[in-house]
Structure 1
Amino acid sequence: MSEHPVTPNPDAVLIGEGMTGGYGGADILHNCTIAVNKGEIAVIVGPNGAGKSTAMKAVFGMLNLREGQVRLDGKDITGLTPQARVGMGMGFVPQTRNIFPSMSVEENLEMGAFIRHDDIRTTMEQVYHLFPILKDKRRQAAGELSGGQRQQVAVGRALMTKPSVLMLDEPTAGVSPIVMDELFDRIIEIARTGISILMVEQNARQALAIAHKGYVLVQGANRYTDTGQALLADPEVRRSFLGG
């Protein structure tokens, strides 16, 4: 359990290493390192204002880094736009405004496949298999669905690009505990197909319970990094970040 700079696994599918930067003013991230291995779930937790979503956005190319680099499958992608990163296999589900409310569920999924020029039907069937309720409601406007179902549409839309890494910013924000459990079950299922998952979560205890790797950020810097289970068991982490 270390409070020192994190040394990521060189085999990680996605690494944001030594990231320092912000949105133009003061730096929000300070030598922050986040990585995820193939088919694993990595979770970023920490107090409000710790820079969790900023770290994820930095990995996705939504802010300029003053220092550090982002690598995907060993390639340096630090200079690429988010759009170019999607083309290389990154899927990103923001916390808000992540669906087209007036379009049907099916149209939302089709929009997700905008970068593809092949047959998308197999992927759509996979999404419907993962989220059966979406198949039932595929003709319905996405904006009419419940919060949990809209999250399923957002995740399904990101999966339509056939990403190797799926990034989720607070996927369970504002949903009931039952819906949260269901979403986490689906996230585990997605990881089992070989897709790497990187997510930011407020529900730290539940998220760490399903995480292969956990990153506790404080003020934009790595405070603790370990397996999800080790972080859950660590008395210091429990006292400071998990409510005892």
Structure 2
Amino acid sequence: MIGGYGRGADILNGVTLDVELGEIAVIVGPNGAGKSTAMKAVFGMLNIHTGSVVFDGEDITRLSPQARVAKGMGFVPQTHNIFASMSVEENLEMGAFLRRDDYRDTMAQVYDLFPILKEKRHQHAGELSGGQRQQVAVGRALMTKPKLLMLDEPTAGVSPIVMDELFDRIIEVARTGISILMVEQNARQALEIAHKGYVLVQGANGYTGSGKELLANPDVRKSFLGG
């Protein structure tokens, strides 16, 4: 993908991403490398001048984000990702707005994945801790029954203990057959759970490999993982 926002300069200068069924693919790299921009390009939130987005065998490059949700994409932005004045349960119900079937089974699955949300289901989401808010945001995306779940910095601003718990839940989601594409600032920890990793440098692929391969790469370790 090559592209950027509006008619501005290109931010992506040749990014190739691939996520298979049930895989966790992680995008890491320095600030300003185009990580979140690449994620937004996959979701249709900016213009791709060269390249394409193929989802489930179909070219969806020209589809709107809303149409991509209907195709099976779920996106959790880094900030402003919950309805703070609504209850936890109402947030989850908002995730099912496109569905015409009975979504109660999916809600039960979300509560199984995040038991604290069931406990606090009648509480305003804005009253929750940072980690619990992230669980609400991920849960709401799961209510769309996505084939691909995209997470932009899911552990930003949470404690190491909460980060580990979120990563455990992400692994559980992938085991259900949902693909995960994740941008993450905690690069070392994210690569430890990744089937596939992409290190972006100045809007292009710098290094690509399995999570283990990138963790073992001395250049990646020195430049991006602190040695």
- TM-score normalised by the chain length of structure 1: 0.92
Please name the residue that 1:201 is paired with.
184
Match of 2:99 among 94, 116, 129: 116
Deviations 1:43-68 (A, max 9, x none): 00000000000000000000011000
Measure the CA separation in 2 of the matches of 1:138 and 1:107.
8
Once superposed, what is the RMSD of the aligned Cα atoms? 0.4
Please name the residue that 1:235 is paired with.
218
**Matching residue's letter, 1:218:** V
Match of 2:11 among 24, 28, 31: 28
Match of 1:189 among 144, 164, 172: 172
How far off its partner does 1:162 sit?
Answer: 0.2
**Matching residue's letter, 1:234:** N
Match of 1:48 among 26, 31, 44: 31
For structure 2, which runs of at least 5 residues remain unmatched after alignment? none
Match of 2:90 among 107, 115, 118: 107
What SS does the aligned partner of 2:208 have?
Answer: strand
Measure the CA separation in 2 of the matches of 1:65 and 1:190.
29
Runs of 4+ that moved beyond 2 A: none
How far off its partner does 1:71 sit?
Answer: 0.4
Alignment of 1:72 with 2:55, yes or no, is yes
Alignment of 1:167 with 2:165, yes or no, is no
Measure the CA separation in 1 of the matches of 2:65 and 2:16.
19
How far off its partner does 1:35 sit?
Answer: 1.1
What SS does the aligned partner of 1:32 have?
Answer: coil
Deviations 1:91-118 (A, max 9, x none): 0000000000000000000000000011
Please name the residue that 1:60 is paired with.
43
For structure 1, which runs of at least 5 residues remain unmatched after alignment? 1-18
Deviations 1:108-139 (A, max 9, x none): 00000000011010000000000000000000
- TM-score normalised by the chain length of structure 2: 0.99
Measure the CA separation in 2 of the matches of 1:231 and 1:133.
34
Measure the CA separation in 2 of the matches of 1:26 and 1:243.
31
Deviations 1:170-203 (A, max 9, x none): 0000000000000000000000000000000000
Please name the residue that 2:115 is paired with.
132
